[in-house]
Amino acid sequence: MRATPPPEGACSAAEGEGTPMSTLVEHFGIAVRQLREQRGWSQEHLAALSDLNRSYVGEIERGRVIVSILTVQKLAVALQLAPASLLARGEQVASVRRAHHEALAALAAIGG
């Protein structure tokens, strides 16, 4: 396993906390984590398959870094998906979370 540090110029998502970009980054990370866990893989295993550092994979999954398109490609290949499918999975996470938030807000309005 070759450990590589985060790419130079990788941005921290914390720089834009609370913005649509940071939400996108968070949803992408959740999607990566869900796909990895569905396969029963550790972060180390995904890192090895994608030629990334394990700690960088953790940062991605926590939505702490904005990944490059090259990193999306590496993760997609490791997860045996097209890059567009991996990105679309992040959008699916966003849709589910929005629906969940709206349902909770409706319940709060009824109860409050």
Q: What percent of the chain has pLDDT above 90?
A: 59
pTM: 0.74
Q: Is residue 85 part of a domain?
A: yes
Domain ranges, residue 21:
11-111
Report whether pLDDT(12) > 80: no
The answer to whether the CB of 35 falls within 8 A of the CB of 79 is yes
Which CATH number covers residue 105?
1.10.260.40
Report whether pLDDT(86) > 80: yes
Highest mean pLDDT among 8-17, 78-87, 90-99, 101-110: 78-87
Question: Would you tell me how many other CB atoms lie within 10 Å of the CB of residue 105?
Answer: 10
Q: Please state the domain count of the chain.
A: 1
Q: Report pLDDT for 10.
A: 52
State the DSSP code for 8.
T
Q: Report pLDDT for 4.
A: 47
Q: Is residue 5 part of a domain?
A: no
Q: Is residue 51 part of a domain?
A: yes
